[in-house]
Structure 1
Amino acid sequence: MLSFLGQWWEKNRENKLIQEMRLENNLANPRPFASISDEELASFDGIFIPGGHAPLSDLGNNPELGRILWHFHNAGKPTAVICHGPYAFMSTKHAPNTPQFAYKGYRITSWSDQEEKLVETLKGGTVPKVESTLALEGAVMVTGAAQKAGAVTVDREVVSGSNPMAAEGLGKRFVEMLQEGERVKGA
């Protein structure tokens, strides 16, 4: 969760929203990826993969998430990832019947290796590096001052951001992409 730096109203607003989501969307007991059928995937317009360390430990080698990401990739449906989230793209290598990386040649922004090394130095330990791992698979990693200041990268159906400062821009662009998809369907 973001550090609210004394912004009591914002903290309370977000905590209330999280509580409502828990009650309305059953966030306490999420569905396993395997329970989402290919037919059901056809009814979804986009997918968002958040950051944090979960993609590093739980998602990068998950064959069912790989299947889901291949669906969105093949259908050209919007896919949004932020921070460590792009590491989940590694799951496409583990998907049934498609043992390859789906995002080779894509321009992607993620949490950088430099940022991760700084956190490792401050907090100790090591974790897989998103930026270099994706680059080894053939992704074109977009880096620079603009990305660190919250810029987002869009390449085909993928919108990506490097860190929490990119969240607002990523969210706006993702919604635009979803709306563009709706216009295409309605045409």
Structure 2
Amino acid sequence: MAPKVLFVLTSHNKLGNLDKPTGWYLPELAHPYHVLHGKTDITVASPKGGEAPLDPASVDAAKDAVSVAFLANHEAVWKTTRKLADFKGKAADFDALFYVGGHGPMFDLVDSATSQQLIREFWEAGKVVSAVCHAPAVFYDARLSDGSLLVEGKEVTAFTNAEEEQAGLTDVVPFLPEDALNKASGGKFVKGEELWAEKVVVSGRLITGQNPASATAVGEAIAKALGV
């Protein structure tokens, strides 16, 4: 039987206090989906359920064949998401948890009690827990049953301060993923030598990717961890 993976998308569509739309970032769903579709059984959830907002800027930016094909052929993936809360207590039904990036998760998932409960349940059930770009920020305050931080002492990566600065959104996000994860992990934040280049960090069952260019490699790392 194919391993089961729960993908998590944001339901948040407004960029901080700017009058600009946001959401999840196209290649960060398209590429892992492309890698894992057919090898795993994928379920997609979001805090509100229903249609999860796609960041229009990511459609403009992502012209690669995988993203374009995903956009054209897989609308149902993000337009018919399940409610995230429905999966509390269901970690035994899955093999991996994966958070898709974009700026949206910074506003509705990082401090979500539902999300933090899912992360704890999946981790403590021995499952793979993963995220890419801004989404690893959901782990910064995720605590285990003993009160310890999930990322404490573990190498982790995410969208970097320098990348956020180049994106011009340093003052828009509630906090910077690099700073928060570096503190929570005890200085174990890792980043690539070049900005915007592929970087994936595998710390046992915890898999994180730095940026959009890391999306395929994150999918491949999840597949490898699941043995598919």
Give your verdict on TM over 0.5. yes
Instruction: State how 1:1-187 maps to structure 2 within 5 Å.
Output: 1=26, 2=58, 3-5=61-63, 12-22=68-78, 26-27=80-81, 30-31=82-83, 33-38=84-89, 40-93=90-143, 99-120=147-168, 125-127=171-173, 128-139=175-186, 140-145=188-193, 148-179=196-227
C-alpha distance in 2 between matches for 1:58 and 1:21: 20
C-alpha distance in 2 between matches for 1:34 and 1:79: 17
C-alpha distance in 2 between matches for 1:78 and 1:84: 18
Give the drift of 1:10.
5.2
Contact map agreement 1:62 1:91 (CA 8 A) in 2: no
C-alpha distance in 1 between matches for 2:219 and 2:163: 22
C-alpha distance in 1 between matches for 2:204 and 2:170: 37
C-alpha distance in 1 between matches for 2:105 and 2:194: 24
Pairwise CA RMSD: 2.5
**Structure 2 equivalent of residue 184 of structure 1:** none
List gaps (5 residues or longer) in structure 2. Answer: 1-25, 27-57
For normalisation by structure 1, the TM-score amounts to 0.77
Give the drift of 1:148.
4.2
Amino-acid identity (%): 22
Does the residue aligned with 2:207 lie in a helix, a strand or coil? strand
Q: For residue 219 of structure 2, what is the amino acid of its counterpart?
A: G
| Higher RCO (C-alpha 8 Å, min separation 6) | 2
Contact map agreement 2:95 2:128 (CA 8 A) in 1: yes
C-alpha distance in 1 between matches for 2:135 and 2:102: 7
Which stretch of structure 1 is more off in the superposition, 126-135 or 144-153? 144-153
Query: How many positions carry a matched residue from both structures?
Result: 168
Q: Which has the larger Rg?
A: 1
